[in-house]
Structures are given as structure tokens and as C-alpha cells.
């Protein structure tokens, strides 16, 4: 089940399985050389993480990434980041070193988890980690529509390193607004990926 779960999770996050795709356990079992029990267990775990959806007797499918879903994820990310940056401002926050990922989506994830780590409340980190997983595909698409996506990250990182929380928050707000502006393009790109699969 661990192997099946890890593979399905990777395929969903990287867009090999596209938003809206139906997930047929029998077909997946043949592809992954696994019986129905680990396939179904993995699908139920992924449903709990918000990467897969299902209704009773309707089967499983990849969660939709339309404009509303993308907007809701961005706004939730902003809310968590604000809380954590404000928490850092009110105490002497311990700043974890940057662990910028090898590619853009990983770099975004690393930065957002670093921000969540500024809070003493571990629930912020758990919520941000889950949100980063569910937003990974969106992050892979962002550089297609942003003029300077990595620059946004560097500016936030520099202010966090300097422990300048007001500027960190301002830089994060700019990061957020740049992404809110491209929601229609991101949703269209997700629809396009989904239609190519049909």
C-alpha cells in the first residue's frame, strides 16, 4: 500500500493524472501490479488528504482545479502565512535556514513551510504542508504566466533572513497578489490538461 500510495500521490501532484480524471481501481491495479485492497486503501488515504474525491457508489476522481478551487487555496495559503509572519513579529522567532528546492514548485513549498515554521502553533505547519501538496500542480503552472516567479521568492527569503517581518509580510502580499491575478489562466491550463487526457 505504501508503494501504491506514493506512486499515486506523485502522479496526481505532478499532473500525470489530471484534475477531473476518474480513477478506476481495477485499471490502476493492473498498471501498478497491485491488488484492489492496497489500491482502495491508497485512494481513501488520498481522499483524506484532499487530492482525490469520491461519492458513495460513484468511484474516485482527481480533485477539480477550477477558478474557485485555485482561489480558495491561494486565500487559505495567504491566511496561514499572515498568521505565521504576524506571530514572528510578536516574539523573537527562530528562523530556519532556507532549503530552497531544486525546482520552482519545491522552492515555493520550502518557502511556505519555512514561513509556517515561524509560528509556535504546529497546526499551521500541518495545514501548510497539506495545502502545498494539494497546490503542487498549480505551482508547476505558475511560471508560465508570471514575469518573475523566482524573484518573488527571493524577496520574501531576504526579508525573513533579515528578520524584517513588516517587509516580509509586504513581500508575501505582493507574491500573493501576483498569483491571484493569473487564476483564470491557471484554471484554463488545468482544463486544457484535463481535456488532453480524454
Residue 126 has pLDDT above 70, yes or no: yes
The architecture CATH gives domain 2-62:
Orthogonal Bundle (1.10)
Residue 19's pLDDT is 82
Residue 197 has pLDDT above 70, yes or no: no
Residue 196's pLDDT is 47
Given pLDDT bands bounded at 50, 70 and 90, which one contains residue 193?
low
pTM flag (> 0.85)? no
Q: Mind listing the pLDDT tens digit for each residue in 7-16?
A: 898 888 888 8
Residue 198's pLDDT is 43
Instruction: Look at residues 184, 81, 83 and name the one whose alpha carbon lies nearest to residue 138.
Output: 184
pLDDT, mean of residues 50-72: 87
Q: Mind listing the pLDDT tens digit for each residue in 90-123?
A: 876 667 666 666 789 999 999 999 999 999 899 9
Amino acid at each position: 500500500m505504501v508503494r501504491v500510495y506514493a506512486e499515486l500521490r506523485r502522479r496526481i501532484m505532478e499532473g500525470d493524472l489530471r484534475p477531473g480524471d476518474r480513477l478506476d481501481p481495477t485499471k490502476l491495479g493492473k498498471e501498478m501490479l497491485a491488488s484492489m485492497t492496497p489500491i482502495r486503501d491508497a485512494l481513501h488515504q488520498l481522499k483524506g488528504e484532499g487530492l482525490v474525491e469520491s461519492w458513495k457508489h460513484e468511484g474516485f476522481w482527481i480533485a477539480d482545479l477550477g477558478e474557485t478551487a485555485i482561489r480558495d487555496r491561494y486565500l487559505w495559503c495567504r491566511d496561514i502565512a499572515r498568521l505565521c509572519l504576524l506571530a514572528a513579529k510578536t516574539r523573537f522567532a527562530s528562523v530556519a535556514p532556507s532549503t530552497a528546492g531544486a525546482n520552482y514548485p519545491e522552492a515555493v513549498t520550502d518557502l511556505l513551510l519555512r514561513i509556517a515554521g515561524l509560528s509556535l502553533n504546529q497546526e499551521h505547519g500541518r495545514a501548510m504542508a497539506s495545502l502545498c501538496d494539494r497546490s503542487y500542480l498549480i505551482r508547476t503552472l505558475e511560471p508560465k504566466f508570471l514575469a518573475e516567479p523566482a524573484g518573488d521568492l527571493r524577496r520574501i527569503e531576504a526579508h525573513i533572513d533579515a528578520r524584517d517581518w513588516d517587509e516580509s509580510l509586504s513581500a508575501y502580499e505582493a507574491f500573493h497578489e501576483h498569483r491571484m491575478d493569473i487564476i483564470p489562466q491557471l484554471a484554463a491550463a488545468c482544463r486544457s490538461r484535463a481535456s488532453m487526457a480524454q
